[in-house]
């Protein structure tokens, strides 16, 4: 099973291949904002892929449009609700999106 390391907290989890980054995070009590419920209708679940970007599914036109609205956009930015996991990843939750709780992990 693929592993995802979430930064800045440095938490690593195993997930089933074919799971979105958002679903993987939420199933493991890792908070990522997702105001639209994971429907590619906002940019609040914006994450930065530090490693493994090329292993993710292609960015759709709808996702590209939403990413244009994301704060701190990079060349390896994705919407967590749209990025499907197939291999190991390192994912950074931007500070504006990260609300890590000290009690989590």
pLDDT in tens, 4-39: 999 999 999 999 999 999 999 999 999 999 999 999
Share of the chain above pLDDT 90, in %: 88
Give the CATH number, domain containing residue 73: 3.10.20.30
Element (H, E) at 66: helix 61-67
In a domain, 102, yes or no: no
In a domain, 101, yes or no: no
Question: How far is Cα 32 from Cα 54, in angstroms, rounded to an integer?
Answer: 22
Rounded average pLDDT over 56-69: 96
Domain that includes residue 51, residue range: 3-92
Overall domain count for the chain: 1
Which pair of structure tokens corresponds to residue 61?
């036109």
| pTM of structure | 0.89
In a domain, 103, yes or no: no
Q: Which residues contact 51 (CB under 8 A, 6 or more apart)?
A: 88, 89, 90
Element (H, E) at 90: strand 89-92
Question: Mean pLDDT for the chain?
Answer: 91
Which pair of structure tokens corresponds to residue 3?
């592993």
């Amino acid at each position: 099973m693929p592993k995802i390391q979430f930064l800045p907290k440095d938490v690593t989890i195993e997930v089933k291949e074919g799971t979105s980054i958002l679903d993987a995070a939420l199933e493991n009590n890792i908070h990522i904002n997702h105001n639209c419920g994971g429907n590619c209708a906002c940019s609040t679940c914006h994450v930065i892929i530090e490693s493994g970007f090329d292993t993710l599914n292609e960015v759709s036109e709808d996702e590209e449009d939403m990413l244009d609205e994301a704060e701190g956009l990079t060349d390896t930015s994705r919407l967590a609700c749209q990025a499907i996991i197939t291999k190991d990843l390192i994912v950074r939750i931007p500070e504006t999106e990260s609300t890590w709780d000290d009690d989590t992990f």
